[in-house]
Amino acid sequence: MMTNNLINYCFSKKSIVLLLFLFFFQNGFTAIRLPNTICSNMVLQQNNHATLWGWASPAEKIFVTTSWNNKTDSVAADGNAQWKIKIPTGAAGGPYTISLKGQNTITLKNILFGEVWICSGQSNMEWSSYQKLQQIIDELPHSANNNIRLFQVSKSTAAFPQDNIEGQWQVCDSETLKGFSAVGYFFAKELQKKLNVPVGIINSSWGGTPAETWTPAEVVASNNEFIKSAEEKKQTPWWPVLPGYAYNAMIYPLTNISIAGVIWYQGESNTATYSSYQTLFSSMINSWRTAWKIDFPFYFVQIAPYTYGRNNEGNLLREQQTKTLSTPKTGMIVITDLVSNVRTFTLLIR
């Protein structure tokens, strides 16, 4: 009798534990989840639409209430536990809130409408206070601005396109600006000042990276010259070189976000294979526009004055960048006049 009571007691305990496990397991998977790019403090592209998306239990209905129009819309998750809805945005302004309600409720606060830009590329776009860049260090004490929002994309790679990304929207101040792209910040500051609207700047850059890794792998694989150039890129312990790896993890997850345009600095890591750069770069730009389904402006900087490689490879790469201007809605900034002596500049940046 005592043995039976003990067995029943243990069974009862296990049942309670199992039921509690199933309860929390089920509730954990029915909760609405959002990608990291959709959070409080974000900027949404003005006079456009905001694409909200995420995950929930299949067939779960989600009610989305937006404070700028006091309207509630709804969407149901599909059989893949994914959902997506587009909400119109108005003229620059805010702050606003978004409430999403299903099995759980998420409230996003301090949202602004304004201009959203992506800055991307390699070293000179990535440089920040962490590289002891004096201009941005001097700016830090004066950088607090509620109308500038920053999103720092964490460095990551993937063999296939990803649906989420590490990072979060933050209000610009002396702390959040540390480690953020100096070029991206000063661009946002100038834009915010001239347009007098909020600006959201997304920094997705990685020093040393060649253009191939920012280009979808299928685009590189479609051209024999691209394939040959990609094969010449040597693996390093500091940055990715494989086609599409940075694009899959650091660009593709952003493609649901409505943006005003892209600014870009890159090219040094392609000087040795300069002959294919114009075609590759144009293909990369067009592939991004295809992913976003919009021909947004794409502005880039011609690489800095420096004695890259041999046989005037730097100059030949600059020529390829100039030819890229044949791609519609592109613009190029020339910076060779910013230093008086290329050799002195070389010594300064080493």
Domain residue ranges in the chain? 1-30, 113-349
- Report pLDDT digits (tens) over 237-293: 999 999 999 999 999 999 999 999 999 999 999 999 999 999 999 999 999 999 999
- Report pLDDT digits (tens) over 108-161: 999 999 999 999 999 999 999 999 999 999 999 999 999 999 999 999 999 999
Q: What local confidence, expressed as pLDDT, does residue 74 receive?
A: 98
- Report pLDDT digits (tens) over 151-184: 999 999 999 999 999 999 999 999 999 999 999 9
**What dotted CATH number matches 113-349?**
3.40.50.1110
Pairing between strand 61-66 and 145-152?
unpaired
Q: What local confidence, expressed as pLDDT, does residue 30 receive?
A: 61
CB 54 within 8 A of CB 35: yes
In the beta sheet, which residues pair with residue 172?
A: 145
CB 258 within 8 A of CB 51: yes
Residue range 227-236: mean pLDDT, rounded? 96
Asked if residue 17 has pLDDT above 50, the reply is no
Alpha-carbon distance of 20 to 304, in angstroms, equals 61
* Residue closest to 234 by CA, chosen among 205, 207, 210: 210
Work out whether the CA dihedral 135, 136, 138, 142 comes out positive or negative. positive
E strands within 208-266?
261-265
At residue 305 the predicted structure's pLDDT band, cuts being 50, 70 and 90, is: confident
Percent of the chain at pLDDT above 70?
87
Residue range 26-46: mean pLDDT, rounded? 86
Q: What local confidence, expressed as pLDDT, does residue 321 receive?
A: 98
At residue 343 the predicted structure's pLDDT band, cuts being 50, 70 and 90, is: low
